[in-house]
Amino acid sequence: MPAAPAATTVAPIAVCDLGTRFGAQVVHEHLDLQVSRGEILGVVGGSGTGKSVLLRTIIGLRRPDAGTVRLLGADLHALPSPQRIAIERRIGVLFQDGALFSSLSVADNICVPLLEHTALSARDARRVATLKIALAGLPQDARDKYPSELSGGMRKRAALARALALDPEILFLDEPTSGLDPVTAAGFDHLLRTLRDALGLTVYMNTHDLDSLHAVCDRVAVLADRRVVVCADLATVARYDHPWVQEYFHGPRGRAANVAWATPTPENR
């Protein structure tokens, strides 16, 4: 009897020949990107290269002008509403600045997707919210606070707790450490790596933080010239012969980060 064919592994995120336009402005052209299951991918690029637009396109908030985007093996725009919602329940998103509902407490923010997409009662949803608050490293007294009563780092963690509410397979992060002090940002990086390892998450992260690239990313994708010009491990990307790449990784801040991470510490051992 012939052997059964080997099962193929579907990439959680697959972007092929993507084109993005706003009127006459071309943001992406012939952009290809594939993310492997269980990896943390850092996406970097200069201002105006369309990092946030790409993320929004991948999660289905914007229809591609050309090419295809497949999320968990599916083209969201080709699915009927019930199937699309089923796919969307398998992802979590942390938008820039957290995007928490300002009129709701932290716990109520986390309850929103639970009450929208599950059959949990309000009481059980709050119990789950309490667990997610702990998972995100927030103190329990943050549960009943409003976003305006939280520090920047705590708001990021509250938004992360909400993104984790439905136990997603893929976590999308848009500049998660932007505006945080170095200690708070390092704590967020450590939490992200711990969650990936513990929960088996696939993580797609827009960032400009060189320390985050060193601390948590398995690969780095560089957006430039309307496409992904290189996607590889950090050392390979840093050697790539492109003007923006060389300035980013070998300019003053890049050199400082390289020196810091070349010295063994608890964070980079």
What architecture is the 13-90+172-261 domain classified under in CATH?
Answer: 3-Layer(aba) Sandwich (3.40)
Average pLDDT over residues 139-160: 91
Residue pLDDT, tens place only, 5-62: 444 578 999 999 999 999 999 999 999 999 999 999 999 999 889 999 999 999 999 9
Confidence grade of residue 268 (pLDDT, cut at 50, 70, 90): low
- Identify the pLDDT of residue 184: 86
Question: How many CB atoms neighbour CB 59 within 10 A?
Answer: 20
- Identify the pLDDT of residue 253: 57
pLDDT above 80 for 254: no
pLDDT above 50 for 260: no
Distance, CA of 146 to CA of 189 (rounded, Å)? 24
Average pLDDT over residues 178-186: 87
pLDDT above 80 for 224: yes
Confidence grade of residue 1 (pLDDT, cut at 50, 70, 90): very low
Confidence grade of residue 259 (pLDDT, cut at 50, 70, 90): very low
Of residues 254 and 156, more confidently modeled = 156
This prediction's pTM? 0.88
**Do 35 and 202 meet the contact criterion of CB atoms below 8 Å apart?**
yes
Percent of the chain with pLDDT strictly greater than 70? 90
Domain ranges of the chain: 13-90+172-261, 101-167
| Residue for token pair 């699915």 | 79
Average pLDDT over residues 209-233: 95
Ranges of H-type helices in the chain = 51-58, 81-88, 106-117, 122-135, 152-163, 182-199, 210-216, 234-238, 243-250, 252-262
Q: Which amino acid is at 69?
A: V
